[in-house]
Amino acid sequence: MATAYFTHPLFRHHEMGPHHPECPARLQAIERQLLASGLHRQLQHHVAPQASDEAILRVHEAAYLQQLKEAAPTEGYRQLDPDTSMNPYTLQAVYHGAGAAVAATDLVLGGVADNAFCAVRPPGHHAEPGRAMGFCLFNNIAVAAAHALEVHALQRVAIVDFDVHHGNGTEAMFAGDERILFCSSFQHPFYPGTRLNDAPANIRHAPLRAGDGGREFRAIYHEQLLPALEAFSPQLLLISAGFDGHSEDRMSGLELGDDDYRWLSERLVRLAARHAGGRIVSLLEGGYALNALGRCTSEHIGILLEAAA
């Protein structure tokens, strides 16, 4: 079949001020690399629709949604936390980001596409049920997971988050929900200051230390997270694809390379083929070194395309 690719022009209009690392150039870097590699023409392109409030409210509090609507500025910026702000396009952009997650899930579970990648911004995995933080307003991956559970009646959905920062918002939304297995590798101690003790059985933390590279990264997946995913046997695999652990990305202290992200992407595709009929929905999270982001995202999408061939 195909690899679906979702994006929207509004994702390039959302911005949080000069020199902010979570910038529109991130998507431009990805699309330049997709064009240069020839992958762009192989994708099934879709314009991300808006998510419904119903889809958002499966994971976010009604009061929080109302606060965002009231906070949306008509000009300038509205600060939500020290790292996160809105401009006049942000509210529409985040609705389309969550909408990409829902629409991609529908396509993959409906058999229209084998897998999907959503080139969305802002990212989502730090957004908690009632709070924006860490550049994130709506938790896109959580919206996709809740949609798969409630609309498609799946019983086992796995989320793999390999962003360098822990997906605290995703964990907050699904801690204790046995239908979800959340596996997260991340630098620790580091933002957002996740506590590692007493996680419920459906949450798997795989912390890495500053200075760790591919050897340590591959080991935690080989020894801890991939076996947990195999045992869970997901019906759908969702990926929070953050590439900010790259050695070129100074937002973190990890020393990962292009090959490490390719290695993990290949193994996740194989796992999905064994347990989920190949069904994967991957959403962009972090990654702020533009050249590395373009290369690694393109490699990740290339592996999805190979699986769909």
Please identify every residue annotated as catalytic.
126
Range list of β-strands (E), 8-114: 44-47, 78-81, 84-86
Whether the CB-CB separation of 105 and 146 falls below 8 Å is answered with no
- How many Å apart are CA 68 and CA 255, to the nearest integer? 36
Q: Name the one residue in this structure whose structure tokens are 């694809």.
A: 241
Phi-psi region of 220 (alpha: psi -120 to 50; beta: other; left: phi over 0): alpha
- How many Å apart are CA 135 and CA 93, to the nearest integer? 13
Whether the CB-CB separation of 285 and 161 falls below 8 Å is answered with yes
Q: Which of 112, 125, 89 is nearest to 13 (CA)?
A: 89
